Each structure stands twice: as structure tokens, then as C-alpha cells.
């Protein structure tokens, strides 16, 4: 069961999450498809908004605490599933 979840979340790319700046913080997005400008997407923490093309300065925003926590969990699950 756990393994299935990991496969869905991680895809075959090896990517755990996509990071995107949104509303002053960097949020994590599910890796099933890349976040694109103009799309309304929900981050792992539940924050959702229309995505904009981030500027260089936007990338310096602090990491969303909840997204950071969830991304670490996903990475841990992934590492545990791969011997």
C-alpha cells in the first residue's frame, strides 16, 4: 500500500516534489506534472492560487513550513522503499 502511494507521488522521474514560489513562500507541488504559469494548483499544504512565472527574487522566499515537512516525509518514504 505504502509502495503504491510512493510510485504515484514520485512518478518515474525520481522527483519528489516541484517547488514554486507563491504568495511570498516557496511551496511544494505534487510531481505528477510540472507547475505551469497560469494554472491554478494546490500545494501540498493546501494553499492554492494561480501560478505565475517566478522572478529571481521570488525564489529567495522562505520555504512554506508545511510543504517542507511534507516534502521531507515523501523523501523519507522514498528512501525507505529503495534498499
Of 16, 17, 43, 51, the one binding Zn ion (CB under 5 A) is: 43
- Closest separation in Å from C-beta 50 to Zn ion: 15
Q: Give, for 28, the enclosing helix (H) or strand (E).
A: strand 25-29
Going by C-alpha positions, the residue among 19, 56, 58, 60 that lies closest to residue 41 is 19
- Closest separation in Å from C-beta 17 to Zn ion: 10
**Is residue 6 within the footprint of Zn ion (CB under 5 A)?**
no
Among positions 49-78, residues that touch Zn ion (CB under 5 A) are 64, 67
30-59 burial, b if ≥16 CB within 10 A, otherwise e? bbeeebeeeeebebbbeeeeebeebeeeee
**Is residue 41 within the footprint of Zn ion (CB under 5 A)?**
no
**Is residue 45 within the footprint of Zn ion (CB under 5 A)?**
yes
Residues forming the site for Zn ion (CB under 5 A): 27, 43, 45, 64, 67
Amino acid at each position: 500500500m505504502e509502495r503504491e502511494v510512493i510510485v504515484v507521488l514520485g512518478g518515474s522521474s525520481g522527483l519528489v516534489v516541484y517547488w514554486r514560489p507563491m504568495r511570498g513562500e516557496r511551496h511544494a507541488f505534487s510531481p505528477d506534472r510540472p507547475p505551469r504559469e497560469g494554472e491554478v494548483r494546490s500545494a501540498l499544504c493546501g494553499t492554492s492560487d494561480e501560478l505565475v512565472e517566478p522572478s529571481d527574487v521570488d525564489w529567495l522566499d522562505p520555504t512554506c513550513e508545511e510543504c517542507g515537512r511534507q516534502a521531507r516525509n515523501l523523501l523519507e518514504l522514498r528512501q525507505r522503499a529503495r534498499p
